[in-house]
Structure 1
Amino acid sequence: MKKYLIQFKPFLLFIVTFFFAYIVLTLLYKLYLNSFETNDVDGVTNIVGRNVEQVIQLFNCDIRIQKNQLNPYLEVWYNEKFTVRIVEGCNAISVIILFISFVIAFSGKFKTTISYILLGSLFIYILNVIRIALLTVLLYRFPEKAHILHGVLFPLIIYGLVFILWIFWINRFSKYAK
């Protein structure tokens, strides 16, 4: 048994570190979410909504984002038509937590790790805002394609880019980079 623990130590260390970071960050995020009323939209989702509105306004498009009166989400009105809603799960925090946990599990030098986490998280956030803005316009024009756009294409893009960030991290900056 000891032989296997020694042989698989790097893998086991990765698993323990990853899950520890993931659980701690998820619990902290859950505490943050619990600080809001049941019918309230959290602060990060509100900021994402404002940023989506700003991105679409850059193209002089008619956009209005408002809090739903009865439910905890933001309504996105594009060209006077209710197009999408932005819920807490749309703010990319869960994706960022996953990204951070992975980078911590394959950490490198402290300063490099922190810098990569901050820049990578910002990149994911910006990509997510652009994703929601594009989704708004595309769902307005092609509402019948909602499943493929929201359920397949855009998750593939965001998770695919996070995967590329991980590969880049492992090969360039982690303690396992050659």
Structure 2
Amino acid sequence: MLKDFKPVLGILLRFIIVYLVLLFAYQLYLNSGKDSGLDPFSRIIANQVTSIQNVIGYPTQLYDDVRNEQVWFYVKERYETRMVEGCNAISVIILFVSFVFAFYKGSKTFVFVGVGLVLLYVMNLLRIVGLNIVMADYKEYGKIFHDFIFPAVIYGTVVLLWLVWIKFFALKHENS
């Protein structure tokens, strides 16, 4: 009886192990710089968002709020949004990587994860830029874009990547 569920249990166990290891590692990373404000990875993203916005005509500066572990985007001479640790999409990335490794298929797993991470990183940058533009020019739509539209974009990208992984890599037979 248990033999029938062995493949499913293996997938589930791999998912849980990878997820917990990555989550634990990320928490250690966050705890290591608790007193220095926003974590370095989130700060890199904030700086890149600022650069993109400056190039596309949305003059932007960052204001550090070390005590509250955040940075504010000063766009078009107004404080429009703030970047906190949760904006860096690491929690979404951990879910993505855990799911793909749950259906491990050798070296192509690492290649797919690498490509997926780059795509998710770019999508997250564009998501934050988009939110800052909405807040600068169409503030009345800010809540719906922050709470629904842009999360759908990043999570939709993850789901699309998962579907591609399952359909074209994980369930594809090696001899076909």
Q: What SS does structure 2 have at the residue aligned with 1:8? A: helix
**Structure 1 segments of 4+ aligned residues over 3 angstroms from their partners:** none
- Indicate the larger mover: 98-107 or 58-67: 58-67
Q: Distance in 2 between matches of 1:139 and 1:177?
A: 44
Partner of 1:162: 158
Of 45, 55, 58, 2:55 maps to 58
In structure 1, the gaps of 5 or more residues are none
Q: Distance in 2 between matches of 1:152 and 1:69?
A: 28
Listed as ranges, the matches of 1:12-161 within 5 Å are 12-38=9-35, 40-109=37-106, 111-161=107-157
Superposed CA deviations along residues 18-72 of structure 1, whole A, max 9, x for unmatched, are: 0110000000000000111345111100100011011112213211112115310
After TM superposition, give the deviation of residue 128 of structure 1 in Å: 0.1
TM-score (norm 2): 0.93
- Amino acid in structure 1 at the alignment position of 2:34: E
State the identity %: 35
TM-score (norm 1): 0.92
In structure 2, the gaps of 5 or more residues are none
Pairwise CA RMSD of aligned residues? 1.3
Q: Distance in 2 between matches of 1:147 and 1:15?
A: 36
- The number of residue pairs the alignment matches comes to 173
Q: Distance in 1 between matches of 2:26 and 2:20?
A: 10
Q: Distance in 2 between matches of 1:102 and 1:92?
A: 16
Superposed CA deviations along residues 104-125 of structure 1, whole A, max 9, x for unmatched, are: 001112x211111111111101
After TM superposition, give the deviation of residue 76 of structure 1 in Å: 0.3
